Structure formats: structure tokens, C-alpha cells
Amino acid sequence: MSGFKSGFTAIIGRTNAGKSTLLNAIVGQKISIISDKVQTTRNTVRGFATSKDSQIVFLDTPGIHKGSGLLGKFMFREAVSSLDGADVIIFLVEADRDVSNDERFIISLLENVKTPVLLVINKIDKVSRQTLLPLIKTYSGLYNFKEVFPISALKGDGVSQLVDAIKKELPEGPLYFPEDSLTDQPERFVVAEMIREKVFQFTRQEVPYSTAVVIESFIEGKKLISISAAINVEKDSQKGILIGKGAQTLKRIGTAARHDIEKLLGVKVFLELFVRVEDDWTKRPDVMKDYGY
């Protein structure tokens, strides 16, 4: 395919910077879950932006931080490994947040990287131009970024200009994935992630961070898909919180998740959720592996 450009773009940044929101905005569909809590993304999620002359494979990574515990270390490895083989790196930061040790730590990981790094300053809708300019100057003094792009991933401002800049950096290459595909993640994975997103939305404290969702069955009919999923937690107390009084919390999670899943799959869905206790699963490598971590 002469003149066709393709390649891989890693989106990195601290937790809650808006990486998943940016990916969803670019591909035009929700394929990566979001919440207002940190460390929502655990696995690297791939999304594709394909046009007549290019295909960009985006890698949405877990927020980079010095993770503790087995799950935190897994997430750190997931994020850092995305830098290998990337043709372009997006370092996503927040316009309404000063440069902190978190950002400086990520910049230190980029010191020996020869890949073009684009500084993307998200959430510009929350600040004034007077605030933005000094922030750009500070970041530009810390690293030699290829270009700087102020954007609002939520509102879409500046996103198309960012995509155009990425295309310019890509080499000529093949169409890696079918042109009508938005992700290569299995439907089961995306469905499990959508359920986990609602756990983050409707529960607090340590509960969402102690949760892993496993799809037990996925039965496709002509007019209905029946899904059964286990929400695994570490303690009986977490199970009680997740279910809620009169099972109301679990019902809210199920209703909200089913709505998103039906939108994704384009068909009616019967969703059955149940809660299971797997003692201290985040400290057990064998169980973590079974859960996909």
C-alpha cells in the first residue's frame, strides 16, 4: 500500500490524567473505561484510528506511578513496556495541575528514549491562557518535546490537530488491523472492564481497588446475549458493601453496565452478576494470573 503510514503510539501519564478519555475521543467509541478515581486502567488497551492514508494503533496504559504490591507492580510494568516499539509517545499531563514528582518521575523514564515525545496538556477548558503558558514553559525546560499540544479530550478541542501531528511521525507501513476495527481486545475483556468501571462508579474506599471481574459465560443468541460475570473481592466485608442493602448497589452496577454493554454490542443483553470472595487475591500471583494480571 504505497504511501500508507502506520505505527504505534503509546499514551503515558500519571493516573487520572485523561488517557482513556483521549483514546475514546480519538477512536469515536468507548473502548477504555474511565472514572474519577485513580488507577482505574490496569491493562494496556489498544485502540485504532484508521483513515484512507494511515492507521494509528494507540496504546492506553495504566497511570505510571511507583506501584506497591503485586497489582501495582504489574500496572507499572504494563505502562513502561508500552514504550518499547512505539513510533510516537504521548506524554499526557493536566493543565490544572502543577508539575509534581509524579511527572518528573515519568520524564526520567524518557531520558534515553529516542522516539518522538509529544507533550499533550489536557483539560485546558479548566484553566486560563495565563495559567497555561507558564506550565508549557516549565515542561519545555524539563524535556526536549517534539511538539506541545493543549487539548480538551472531554470536549474534543485540539484532538484532530494532535492526530494529524502523530500521522506525520509515522513510517510507511501496512494496515495492521481491519479498517473497520476499533480495538483488538476480545469482547469478553471489554465487557468485564465495563462492569469494573461501574464498580468504581458506585463504590468507595478500597472496594474498587480490590475488585476483579471475570466473565463466567457469554452466550450469543440471535436477539439476545446472555452474560454471567463474577465480581471477585478480597474480603467478606467488601462483598457486603458491593452488594449493598437489599442488593441495591449490585443492581445499580448491573443496570449501568448493561446499558453500556448493549451500546457496545448493538444487541439486547441479559446480565447476571454475582459477588465472590477470593481471599487476598491481589497478593497471590497465581490468582492474579487467572484474572488476567
0.75 exceeded by pTM: yes
**Number of structural domains the chain divides into:** 2
pLDDT tens profile 223-277: 999 999 999 999 999 999 999 999 999 999 999 999 999 998 999 999 999 999 9
Average pLDDT estimate for 89-99: 95
158 and 228, same structural domain? no
Domain carrying residue 123 = 5-169
pLDDT tens profile 55-82: 999 988 877 766 657 776 776 677 677 7
- Other C-beta atoms closer than 10 Å to the C-beta of 87 total 19
Domain assignment present for 160: yes
CB 92 within 8 A of CB 118: no
Domain assignment present for 182: no
Average pLDDT estimate for 187-214: 92
Domain assignment present for 156: yes
151 and 40, same structural domain? yes
Q: Look at phi and psi of residue 69 and say left if phi exceeds 0, alpha if psi is from -120 to 50, else beta.
A: left
> In the prediction, which pLDDT does 281 show?
93
Q: How far apart are CA 262 and CA 81, in angstroms?
A: 33
Q: How far apart are CA 86 and CA 82, in angstroms?
A: 7
CB 16 within 8 A of CB 38: yes
Task: State which of 138, 169, 200 marks the end of a domain.
Answer: 169
> In the prediction, which pLDDT does 35 show?
61
Domain assignment present for 195: yes
157 and 18, same structural domain? yes
CATH number at residue 282: 3.30.300.20
10 and 59, same structural domain? yes
160 and 237, same structural domain? no
Domain assignment present for 276: yes
> In the prediction, which pLDDT does 44 show?
77
Domain assignment present for 176: no
Q: Can you state the angle between helices 101-109 and 129-142, rounded to 10 degrees? A: 40
209 and 154, same structural domain? no
CATH number at residue 85: 3.40.50.300
Domain assignment present for 25: yes
Domain assignment present for 59: yes
Q: What is the mean pLDDT of the chain?
A: 90
Indicate the range of 30-39, 89-98, 147-156, 270-279 predicted with least confidence: 30-39
Q: How far apart are CA 136 and CA 134, in angstroms?
A: 5
